[in-house]
Amino acid sequence: MAGVRIRVRGQVQGVGFRPFIWQLARKLGVTGCVLNDPEGVLIEAFGPTDTLPDLIRAKAPPLARIDAIEVSPLTAEAPQDFTIAASQGTGAETRVTPDAATCPDCLREIRDPEDRRHGYAFANCTHCGPRFTILNALPYDRGQTTMAPFIMCPDCAAEYANPADRRFHAQPVACPACGPKLWIEPPHDAPLDEAAARLRHGEILAIKGLGGFHLACDARNEGAIALLRERKHRPAKPFALMGTLEMIRQHATPSEAEVALLQDPAAPIVLIRGTGGLPPNIAPDQNTLGWMLPYTPLHHLLLDAFGAPLVMTSGNLSGEPQVIGNDEAREKLAPFADAFLMHDRDIARRLDDSVERITPHGPMILRRARGRVPGTLPLPEGFADAPQTVAYGGQMKAAICLIKNGQALLGHHLGELDEALTWEAFQQADRDYADLFDHKPQVVAVDLHPDFRASRHGAARAEAEGLALEEVQHHHAHLAACMGENLWPLDGGKVAGIILDGTGLGADGTVWGGELLLGDYTGFERMAWLRPAPLIGGDMAAKEPWRNALARLDQAGLQAKADALFGDKPLGMARMAVERGLNAPLSSSAGRLFEAVAAALGICPDRQSYEGEAAMTLEALAQPTSAPPYSFARTGSEIDPAPLWQRIQDDLDRGTPLSTISIRFHAGLAQQFAQAAVQLVHSGQAQAIALSGGCFQSEVLLGLTLHYIGTQAPVLIHTKTPANDGGLALGQALVAAARHLG
């Protein structure tokens, strides 16, 4: 009998897709079968199948993401019924579903005293629950997850085997009779009640979540927050918060878009304006707080018991990856935590919480991790035949990217590779992704900097395995990442890239960071840049903002001002280092310029306690003004900030608010680069403008740059991947692939 074979590609495993097809087929009177295989979901259907592909796309399960539906004719003997067949094949051509926040149905069950899962901290179904954090290998079956040791009871087994049940083949399915157990240390018969009581007494709790441990305390208790800061040696970096939507609305006024993002299955931390009623030491000198909703049954039950928002920050030693093992937590978090809320379901891989925000220009990803990874991105037109490629990113905010089958898989945030345990986590992630996705690269892409650990790792792998190695300049990778995310075609023409970040090795061997590039995926030209200034003390310049202010003030001929501001610093030695060129390389870094302005305004001039502190504080100060942007000088290709320093001094002398000074600086920088980029479009050299680099994670700078570009050119911005180095590997992979396609 004639039938059809339907191939569905995308995020279609572990999301209830097969029972969805089974139920749909029964309604239509279709016979045949559906199964999982390495390429996704395969359907063989006989009978009234004309509407089946359209209905599949229109009514797919909540967590499904369909990339393609391919239909081909099939001639075979038609079966009498429609069945769900066993998974077939080995290897990985399909994507894995990210972890998903607790769905409304599971939430109702854990709160229903009559339900057998009442109060159970590990309830889940095909619409929610752990996925990537429990997965050891593909295909995604229970035996390949950390749920394998938990043998299903008869009730759970019946749900698991029933295609009409929303727990059909939900691999983490469990209940109090057969699943993971929760306890607290020191021991107590009622762990959740005891945890809530300890939180009320101002104690710090270590709580095992989906991708690792959190450290939690009462978000209303200034003393508890101070204690957590003291124990973690984290004096100022903002803490994330967890609360119900009602709790969040007591302290902030989230927009509809922010509420929608909070309620997304990914359940990211969302930066929301307003700090009303909560202690200022949650996020010193900031005007936003990072909120997330509870995303596991354990979190819901704990908040129900506690009744107020919690600080919820990563459980780790400073600079190290998040703790994921119970014994590891007891050893490493004991100096921080007064008690441990633990369970016995292992975490297969650590994933930090994703961090995002909503801007007037769309969503912004600051950290791509739990709930987003390992979701894939489609490649732009022209990359269909791209070779399998692996890219290793940079030294900071490390992330790995794989290209395969027209998709890019940008991996999770790993951290700074200088830290030994983060480097171990990077190496594990490299093996992990290669195994999980059956990835066999032909091309390896790395940053141009030869001393980056990721670059050395990639070069060593390429040599050992006989693979092609592509070195990609740092800011070219930022440009390509923004182009690729926006599906700019391979042959779409050149783009003007405003790339503003900390530092990256330039094609000329100097240190770049404030650039206007003209390029495509295969190459670029450097068209304009910030006038370079010395990084006094090399890497120390990124930690001590006064060094950058000294360099820029001296350049502007305002040595006396620098002497007055920083007289307690070793200025003579610093200036001698500049004069002799000793550990004071020149750099066009926009990030260091932000720190210089902040230091001149008295914002953490001595030392930043975390990366970006000065720039974030400067941004938080900025308020709209009728005053014009500060002026810069333009000499050839150099954009010189020297003129703004006297204007800042004049404003300070007049008693102008720091909020006005901050916005005038942001506006001046944005205007200069926007005008230069627009000129490239008007001249016909560029077809669009792309904005990338870590500085564009400033909502203020992004908004002002877009304002000055206006309608004069199409603009590409980051909305799905980080503008910072967390997106670097995507750009590297695209550049490397494009070179090999050419």
The continuous run of DSSP H or E covering 156 comes out as helix 154-161
**pLDDT score recorded for residue 97:** 87
The mean per-residue pLDDT over the stretch 473-479 comes to 98
Query: What pLDDT, in 10s, does the model give residues 649-670?
Result: 999 999 999 999 999 999 999 9
> Residue 336 to residues 44, 206, 216, 224: CA-CA distances in angstroms?
56, 8, 10, 12
Query: What pLDDT, in 10s, does the model give residues 698-735?
Result: 999 999 999 999 999 999 999 999 999 999 999 999 99
Q: Which residues pair with 6 in a beta bridge?
A: 43, 71
The mean per-residue pLDDT over the stretch 405-430 comes to 92
pLDDT at 541 over 70: yes
Confirm if 18 and 34 have CB atoms less than 8 A apart: yes
Per-residue pLDDT band at 437 (split at 50, 70, 90): confident
Total residues found in the chain within this entry = 742
Contacts 24+ apart (CB under 8 A), 249-252: 250/276, 250/277, 251/275, 251/276, 251/277, 251/278, 251/289, 251/309, 252/276, 252/289, 252/291
Rounded Cα distance, 281 and 238, in Å? 8
CA-based nearest residue to 614, from 679, 662, 565, 573:
662
pLDDT at 546 over 80: yes
Confirm if 13 and 135 have CB atoms less than 8 A apart: no
**pLDDT score recorded for residue 92:** 63
> Residue 483 to residues 34, 459, 731: CA-CA distances in angstroms?
38, 25, 8
The mean per-residue pLDDT over the stretch 312-341 comes to 94
pLDDT at 329 over 90: yes
Quick check: helix, strand or coil at residue 79?
coil
Contacts 24+ apart (CB under 8 A), 324-330: 324/211, 324/212, 324/213, 324/349, 324/350, 326/208, 329/206, 329/208, 329/213, 330/185
> Residue 613 to residues 8, 235, 292, 723: CA-CA distances in angstroms?
46, 11, 22, 17
DSSP strand pairing (2-11 vs 511-519)? unpaired
Let me know if 18 is a catalytic residue: yes
Please identify which of the residues 5, 7, 26, 36 carries the catalytic annotation: 36
**pLDDT score recorded for residue 463:** 98
Q: Which residues pair with 514 in a beta bridge?
A: 500
Tokens 């944005």 sit at which residue? Answer: 670
Domains belonging to the chain, first-starting first, are: 2-84 (3.30.70.100), 182-343 (3.90.870.30), 376-486+722-741 (3.30.420.360), 530-716 (3.30.420.40)
Using CB atoms within 10 Å of the CB of residue 407, give its burial: 0 to 12 exposed, 13 to 18 middle, 19+ buried.
Answer: buried
Quick check: helix, strand or coil at residue 28?
helix
Let me know if 583 is a catalytic residue: no
The continuous run of DSSP H or E covering 288 comes out as strand 288-292
Confirm if 589 and 503 have CB atoms less than 8 A apart: yes
How large a percentage of the chain has pLDDT more than 70?
A: 99
For the four alpha carbons of 531, 535, 539 and 542, in that order, the dihedral sign comes to negative
Rounded Cα distance, 35 and 43, in Å? 7
**pLDDT score recorded for residue 91:** 66
**pLDDT score recorded for residue 274:** 87
pLDDT at 742 over 90: no
Q: Which residues contact 439 (CB under 8 A, 6 or more apart)?
A: 92, 388, 390, 402, 404, 433
**pTM (predicted TM-score):** 0.95
Q: Which residues contact 189 (CB under 8 A, 6 or more apart)?
A: none
CA 489 to chain centre: 24
Query: What pLDDT, in 10s, does the model give residues 174-232?
Result: 999 999 999 999 999 999 999 999 999 999 999 999 999 999 999 999 999 999 999 99
The mean per-residue pLDDT over the stretch 431-437 comes to 88
Rounded Cα distance, 154 and 165, in Å? 15
pLDDT at 154 over 70: yes
Rounded Cα distance, 240 and 362, in Å? 22
The mean per-residue pLDDT over the stretch 238-264 comes to 97
CA 286 to chain centre: 20
Q: Which residues contact 404 (CB under 8 A, 6 or more apart)?
A: 388, 437, 439
Rounded Cα distance, 706 and 689, in Å? 10
Per-residue pLDDT band at 291 (split at 50, 70, 90): very high
**Residue spans of alpha helices (H) in 339-415:** none
Rounded Cα distance, 399 and 373, in Å? 11
φ, ψ of residue 665 in degrees (nearest 5):
-70, -50
Using CB atoms within 10 Å of the CB of residue 280, give its burial: 0 to 12 exposed, 13 to 18 middle, 19+ buried.
Answer: exposed
The continuous run of DSSP H or E covering 70 comes out as strand 65-75
Please identify which of the residues 5, 7, 9, 18 carries the catalytic annotation: 18
Rounded Cα distance, 627 and 646, in Å? 15
Confirm if 298 and 209 have CB atoms less than 8 A apart: yes
Rounded Cα distance, 247 and 311, in Å? 13
Question: Which stretches of 423-556 are assigned E, i.e. beta strand?
Answer: 443-447, 468-472, 495-505, 511-519, 524-530, 533-534
Q: For residues 140 and 551, which has the higher predicted lDDT (pLDDT)?
A: 551
Q: How many other CB atoms are found less than 10 A from the CB of residue 229?
A: 20
Q: For residues 275 and 425, which has the higher predicted lDDT (pLDDT)?
A: 425
> Residue 86 to residues 9, 53, 358, 497: CA-CA distances in angstroms?
18, 22, 42, 49
User: Among 130-139, 364-373, 539-548, where is mean pLDDT lowest?
Assistant: 130-139
